[in-house]
Amino acid sequence: MSPPPSLYAGASPLPFDAEAAVEHLHARDRVLSRLITRVGPFGLQPEATQPPFQSLTESILHQQVTGKAAAAILGRFRAGFGTGRAFPRPERVVAASDEELRAVGISRSKAAALRDLAAKTLDGTVPGSRALAGMEDDAILERLTQVRGVGVWTVHMLLMFRLGRPDVLPVGDYGVRKGFARTFRTKGELPTPGEVAKRGERWRPYRSVASWYLWRALEVK
């Protein structure tokens, strides 16, 4: 999988000191340090204004389809279930039938996932933005993976690209593993998640920043 399109190089309002994070990585890992030098300044744009229900809905709709197809489905979903420019509310999604959701291009399994997400948003299992911001990473992971169709990778992306958390390492992400293989020259073979995690211990507490550079490793010579 690839990180969401909110990832980009440039200045960004992060809840941690990006320069200190980069200096930490330079000091802790000489191989990663060379990649950082080639890539240049770190940049990430958290989209913290987006409510968790909306973020997770978009993540579910993007699963197993191209970005173009997902955008089209999302547009029809917003037009069919939203009010004006407002994103569809969980109450509306809970009440929607399979037929209504299928009519905008949502598969049966994703329809079930969206209704479960909506129900768990209404009962408080999925916290609101303010509550989520005050929770520890592990607590967020435990809470959100109770939702059908929301796995560890999806929560990791939310932690990094919505909340700007500094110490997330999505070890199962294909792009991270591919970037790791290219950076650390693992004989053309993808490293196991365990191998990425082991190396990543030296990157704490800025594993999100290291992950960003591993993604960028696929774009530099």
Show which residues are catalytic.
173
As beta bridge partners, residue 35 has: none
* Structure tokens given for 156: 């990791």
CA distance 218 to 221: 8
3-state secondary structure of 128: coil
3-state secondary structure of 86: strand
Omega cis (within 30) before 88: no
* Structure tokens given for 84: 């004006």
The 10 Å Cβ neighbour count of residue 9 is: 15
Q: Which amino acid is it at 205?
A: P
Alpha-helical runs (H) found in the chain? 18-28, 30-39, 52-62, 67-81, 90-95, 98-103, 108-122, 129-133, 137-144, 152-161, 174-184, 193-200, 207-216
CB 96 within 8 A of CB 119: no
